[in-house]
Amino acid sequence: MSAQPRVPLQVYEPFRAGLPPLRKYWKSLWSRRTFIAEYSRSELREQHFDSLFGQLWLVLNPLMLSAVYFLLIVIIGGSGGSLRYGHLTASLFLFYLVSNSLTGGVKSVTAGQRLILNTAFPRIMLPVSATVIAFIKFIPTLLVFIVMRTVLGLPFGWAMLWAFPVILIALIFSLGAAILISTINVYFRDIASFLPYMIRTLLYLSPILYEASALKPQLRTLEHFNPLFTILESWSLSIVHAQPPHLSSMLQGLAWALGIFLVGTYFFLSREREFAVRL
**Nearest in space to 268 (alpha carbons), one of 127, 135, 111, 170:** 127
* Mean pLDDT, residues 245-259 taken together: 93
pLDDT at 2: 52
Q: Which residues contact 165 (CB under 8 A, 6 or more apart)?
A: 250
* Mean pLDDT, residues 149-158 taken together: 86
pLDDT at 50: 63
* Mean pLDDT, residues 144-149 taken together: 85
Return the higher-pLDDT residue of 58 and 263.
263
Residue 165 has pLDDT above 90, yes or no: yes
pLDDT at 55: 67
Return the higher-pLDDT residue of 49 and 10.
49
Residue 15 has pLDDT above 60, yes or no: no
Return the higher-pLDDT residue of 102 and 8.
102
Q: State the pLDDT confidence band at 147, using cuts at 50, 70 and 90.
A: confident
* Mean pLDDT, residues 258-277 taken together: 88
pLDDT above 70 covers what percent of the chain?
Answer: 84
pLDDT above 90 covers what percent of the chain?
Answer: 31
Q: Where are the alpha helices (DSSP H) in the chain?
A: 22-31, 33-46, 52-72, 82-106, 108-111, 113-118, 125-152, 163-187, 191-205, 222-225, 229-239, 247-271, 275-278
Cβ(153)–Cβ(82) under 8 Å?
Answer: yes
What's the whole-number average pLDDT of the chain? 82
pLDDT at 12: 39
pLDDT at 263: 94
Q: State the pLDDT confidence band at 14, using cuts at 50, 70 and 90.
A: very low
Question: What distance in Å separates the CA atoms of residue 82 and residue 123, rounded to the nearest whole number?
Answer: 45
Residue 245 has pLDDT above 80, yes or no: yes
Domain definitions of the chain by residue range: 31-204+216-278
Q: State the pLDDT confidence band at 170, using cuts at 50, 70 and 90.
A: very high
Q: State the pLDDT confidence band at 183, using cuts at 50, 70 and 90.
A: very high
pLDDT at 11: 43
- 8-46 burial, b at 16+ Cβ within 10 Å, e below that, comes to eeeeeeeeeeeeeeeeeeeeebeeeeeebeebbbebbee
Question: What distance in Å separates the CA atoms of residue 257 and residue 183, rounded to the nearest whole number?
Answer: 17
